[in-house]
Amino acid sequence: MGKLNGKVAVITGATSGMALATARLFVEEGAYVFVTGRRKDKLAEAVRSIGGNVTGVQGDASSLADLDRLYETVKREKGRIDVLFASAGTAEFAPIGEVTEEQFDRTFGLNVRGTLFTVQKALPLFADGGSIIMNGAVGGSKGFPAISVYGASKAALRSFARTWTLDLKARGIRVNVLSPGTIDTPALEGVPKDALDGFVKLIPRGTVGRPEEIATAALFLASNDSSFVTGSELFVDGGMAQI
């Protein structure tokens, strides 16, 4: 029996990388998974790669109308949610003197506003005792050049986990943040080799992480293995933010 046998999970932004690897693992562990993505072709490709026990719902996590449509689909097909991985996010980089209003709005609109309403709109369908996971980042805890807006957006999620744990404690819903370090995903494509080498030097393990290593951590937070874990931030970063 899988660790998520019979569970219903929702994963946003799951057309590639860490979230897609997580969707695959959740299905392997017995869950039925709803995945979202903005691009129809990429979403269809992701659904095909997952195989069975999955429904793809096209949409943007920063759009409240798209979130309503997502949860209407979940309600119609399964009637409840046991696990939510609010993974959709974006990253744009600029030093403080070059940050634009548009960049700020895009980053906070998806990473903070989008995550808040992804969670809020899921609550009427949430089973008591369920698990909410938000996608953080080491940048929310550790300073790097030119990521002030992105880092602040991820730090906000850490605060959400603390307060929502108290808001939802009567329902036994656990809320945690999963914070990856540098992971080998399509987001690294196009990063200059010298820049990537610089990141690797900051990782005590000496290598970047794999999407599957994030997926297994998400499975821990989603399953009963983490029944005594809530309001926390789990770093999966090879030690980057820990020393």
Q: How many CB atoms lie within 10 A of CB 225?
A: 11
- CA 189 to chain CA centroid, Å, is 20
Place of tokens 């499975």: 219
Q: How far apart are CA 58 and CA 63, in angstroms?
A: 11
Establish whether 150 is a catalytic residue: yes
Q: Which of 83, 44, 38 is nearest to 63 (CA)?
A: 38
Pair type for strands 32-37 and 54-58: parallel
Q: Which of 147, 127, 129 is nearest to 138 (CA)?
A: 147
Which one of the listed residues 85, 150, 160, 220 is annotated catalytic?
150
Q: Please, which residues have CB within 8 angstroms of residue 178's CB and are 6 or more apart in sequence?
A: 85, 133, 134, 135, 136, 214, 217, 218, 221, 233, 234, 236
- What is the three-class DSSP state of 233? strand
Contact between 104 and 146 under an 8 Å Cβ cutoff? The reply is no
Q: Which of 29, 68, 62, 32 is nearest to 47 (CA)?
A: 32
Active site members: 150
